[in-house]
Structure 1
Amino acid sequence: MLRRRMLIMLGIVLLIVLLLAGYKAFSIYRQIQVFSAPPPPISVAVATASERPWQNRLPTVGTLKALQGVNLSLEIAGTVKDLQFESGQQVKAGQALLQLDSAVESALLDTAQADLGLAQLDFGRGSQLVGSQAISKGEFDRLSAQLQKNKATVNQLKAALAKKRMLAPFSGTIGIRQVDIGDYLASGTVIATLQDLSSLYVDFYIPEQSVPKVALGQPVQISVAAYPGEQVEGKISAINPKVENSTRNVLVRATLANPGGKLLPGMFANLQVLLPDPQAKIVVPESAIAYTLYGNSLYVVAHRKAADGSEEKDPQGQPILIAERRYVETGERRDGLVLINKGVAKGEQVVSAGQIKLDNGAHIAISPDKLLPDHQNSQPRTD
């Protein structure tokens, strides 16, 4: 009886051991299946390398200047008697702006005009008397000289009186007034600035090796920090016929319209000189390029090949796509696109998002890139 019980217990223990061994073997089998299964494809977004006309540009910087601009000041000293403008006012050419006290000059002019009237009467009588030889020819010459002298004195005092008054030299916008009525102004004191903002100049420098690329009338695109995203068109109006000795640069001037007077003289400007003869170039989204010290690269969508050179396909019959790393020679970057000089052909699909997860030859699946416009997004190629 005891022996029978021992056999039963031994059988139960053996059964439990077998069950545990079977469960462990099944777990190991499941793990082997998981690790041996191929990894799922990596989801990436792709774009098509397209060929488009590429306008070469010469980037530079410059400073805006008014078509006409001066600091208003008087040649002579005096006390301000009248101000005839307000800060920021639009003025016309010849408009009176300021009047200095001119009482002394006006009195001297009245005296000189009285002397001139008397000299004219003496000259008139002398011209009658010299004909009848009532006075000598020398006396008549003295009367003529006195008349000319008095005329010159009157003209001199009129010129001095005119310098006591300031007129706008041209039409434009006057700046903030720097003086008040009653101020004594020394010669050369700045009263305000006057700027003609109807159109502007922008002066910039280009290296001497770029001189053959520019010409009069060539278009220029200008942008300023005050209005980000806006560009103003201009044209080259002058090229300095001399190279600066210290910098080996050439000064160039472009003219641009200024509707509404938004742009102001003195603003810092970024310029793009549009060079002639645009050429068809291969471009890809800037997000597709990986920049490293060893060179710039991107991932190109390719089909996985079998040992016999045929394309491998998935169970649904679609080609298996992989990412092929390729080093490229890049050029100018503009508007989210990069110029590809070498390494990618027209129509090839490149990975534009998700490439940080990739290695060369990684299995990929294509999904739309929400950061790219619809016309730049690519769909999987089955050809």
Structure 2
Amino acid sequence: MLRRRMLIMLGVVLLIILMLGGYKAFSIYKMVQTFAVPKPPISVAVATATERPWQARLPTVGTLKALQGVNLSLEIAGTVKDVQFESGQKVTAGQPIVQLDSAVESALLETAQADLGLAQLDYGRGSQLVGSQAISKGEFDRLTAQLAKNKATVNQLKAALAKKHIVAPFSGTIGIRQVDVGDFLPSGTVIATLQDLSSLYVDFYVPEQAVPKIALGQGVHVSVSAYPSLDFPGTISAINPKVENSTRNVLVRATLANPDGKLLPGMFADLQVLLPNPQPKIVVPESAITYTLYGNSLYVVAEKKAADGSVEKDDKGQPILVAERRFIETGERREGLVLITKGLQNGEQVVSGGQIKLDNGAHIAISADKTLPAEQTSPPRTN
């Protein structure tokens, strides 16, 4: 009886072991079947490496200056009688700006003009009398000198009177006024600033080794932090004929138009000097480059090859595409494009989106990249 029970228990245990083994075998079979199924291709966006004229640029920084700019100030002291402008007003050359009290100078001028009239009468009589020898030659010389002195006094007072009347030396935009009616102003007091903003200068320095690359009339592109999305073109108008001893740099001046008055003197400017003789270079979108400490790389679209070197095709007869990781050397970046100096050929397709999911040799499918211009995107290649 005991022996029979033991056989039954052994049979039950053996059955359980067989069931567990079968379940495990079935699980392994399902896993093998799962891994045996080919993975679906990874959807990526691609762009075409294109060769285009690439104009080298010399980056530098500078400062904007007005075409004409002065601080309007007084040459002589006086009390402000009338302020004839508003802050920020556009003025024309010769337009009155400030009138100082000139009552004393006007009275002195009237006195001097009266003395001049008397001196002219005395000179006229003397010129008649000296001919008839009624007066001496020395007396006539004194009358001549007195006439010249009185003329000089009148001219001096007229000049002093003119300095009481301040006018705009050129057309431009006047700044915030610093004086009010009734102020007594000593000589040298600044009334306001006057700037001609129709055009601007931008002064910048270039290293002495770059001097052979620049010339008068050469183009520059200027940008300022106030308008980061705008680019202001200009041309080189002057090159200093001297190298600075302390920095070994050369001062260069460019002129740029400012029709909208957006640019202001004193602004800090980023410049790109356009160097001559553009060269054909290969460029790709910046999004295609992966930057690492080990070097820069990108994924190139390639056709999967079999062991015999033939192109593998899918069930639709289309070549199977894979991502081939390639290390490259990059150059200047500009306007969303990167210059490729080594490692890529013209016309090759590169992955511009979705490369974070890729590894070398990964099966890929091409989809449209809406972030790129139409000329940079490419349809899937077929035989």
| TM-score interval, smaller chain | over 0.9
Paired amino acid for 1:322: V
Structure 1: distance between partners of 2:234 and 2:12: 97
Residue 6 of structure 1, CA deviation: 10
What residue number does 1:354 align with?
A: 354
Structure 2: distance between partners of 1:334 and 1:145: 76
Structure 2: distance between partners of 1:374 and 1:347: 15
What residue number does 1:60 align with?
A: 60
Paired amino acid for 1:154: V
Paired amino acid for 2:234: G
Gap change, CA 1:359 and 1:6, over 3 Å in 2: closer
Structure 2: distance between partners of 1:328 and 1:5: 77
Residue 8 of structure 1, CA deviation: 9.4
Q: Kindly indicate whether residue 224 of structure 2 is the aligned counterpart of residue 228 of structure 1.
A: no
Larger deviation, residues 193-202 vs 363-372: 363-372
Residue by residue over 1:250-285, the C-alpha shift from the partner in whole angstroms, topping out at 9 and shown as x without a partner, is: 111111111122221112222221122222211101
Q: How does 1:205-354 map to 2 (within 5 A)?
A: 205-354=205-354
What residue number does 2:74 align with?
A: 74
Residue 327 of structure 1, CA deviation: 1.5
Paired amino acid for 1:351: V
Residue 336 of structure 1, CA deviation: 0.6
Identity over aligned residues, as a percent? 82
Paired amino acid for 1:321: L
Q: Kindly indicate whether residue 363 of structure 2 is the aligned counterpart of residue 363 of structure 1.
A: yes
Structure 1: distance between partners of 2:169 and 2:6: 126
Residue 359 of structure 1, CA deviation: 2.2
Residue by residue over 1:297-332, the C-alpha shift from the partner in whole angstroms, topping out at 9 and shown as x without a partner, is: 111111222222222223333222222221112111
Structure 2: distance between partners of 1:9 and 1:312: 58
Residue by residue over 1:214-239, the C-alpha shift from the partner in whole angstroms, topping out at 9 and shown as x without a partner, is: 11111122222222322222111111
Residue by residue over 1:185-232, the C-alpha shift from the partner in whole angstroms, topping out at 9 and shown as x without a partner, is: 111110000111111111111111111111111112222222232222
Structure 2: distance between partners of 1:53 and 1:351: 23
Structure 2: distance between partners of 1:14 and 1:121: 153
What residue number does 1:140 align with?
A: 140
Paired amino acid for 1:345: Q
Q: How does 1:69-108 map to 2 (within 5 A)?
A: 69-108=69-108
Structure 2: distance between partners of 1:295 and 1:240: 41
**TM score, norm. by length of structure 2:** 0.93
Residue 97 of structure 1, CA deviation: 1.0
Gap change, CA 1:9 and 1:328, over 3 Å in 2: closer
Paired amino acid for 1:247: T
Structure 1: distance between partners of 2:217 and 2:350: 39
Residue 369 of structure 1, CA deviation: 2.1
Residue 339 of structure 1, CA deviation: 0.7
Residue 16 of structure 1, CA deviation: 6.4
Structure 1: distance between partners of 2:16 and 2:292: 61
Structure 1: distance between partners of 2:63 and 2:158: 41
What residue number does 1:128 align with?
A: 128
Larger deviation, residues 309-318 vs 155-164: 309-318
Residue 61 of structure 1, CA deviation: 1.6
SS in 1 for 2:71: strand
Structure 1: distance between partners of 2:85 and 2:12: 115
SS in 1 for 2:229: coil
Residue 71 of structure 1, CA deviation: 0.3
**TM score, norm. by length of structure 1:** 0.93
Structure 1: distance between partners of 2:100 and 2:295: 71
SS in 2 for 1:365: strand
Larger deviation, residues 301-310 vs 161-170: 301-310
Residue 3 of structure 1, CA deviation: 11
Residue by residue over 1:82-131, the C-alpha shift from the partner in whole angstroms, topping out at 9 and shown as x without a partner, is: 11111111111111111111121111111111111111111100100001
SS in 1 for 2:227: coil
Gap change, CA 1:129 and 1:12, over 3 Å in 2: same
Larger deviation, residues 349-358 vs 149-158: 349-358
Paired amino acid for 1:248: R
Larger deviation, residues 276-285 vs 367-376: 367-376
Structure 2: distance between partners of 1:294 and 1:21: 49
Structure 1: distance between partners of 2:114 and 2:6: 157
Gap change, CA 1:6 and 1:123, over 3 Å in 2: closer
SS in 1 for 2:150: helix
Structure 2: distance between partners of 1:112 and 1:14: 141
What residue number does 2:109 align with?
A: 109
SS in 1 for 2:242: strand
What residue number does 2:41 align with?
A: 41
Residue by residue over 1:50-82, the C-alpha shift from the partner in whole angstroms, topping out at 9 and shown as x without a partner, is: 111212212222111111110000111111111
Structure 2: distance between partners of 1:96 and 1:289: 62
Residue by residue over 1:145-202, the C-alpha shift from the partner in whole angstroms, topping out at 9 and shown as x without a partner, is: 1111111111111111111111111111111110000101111110000111111111
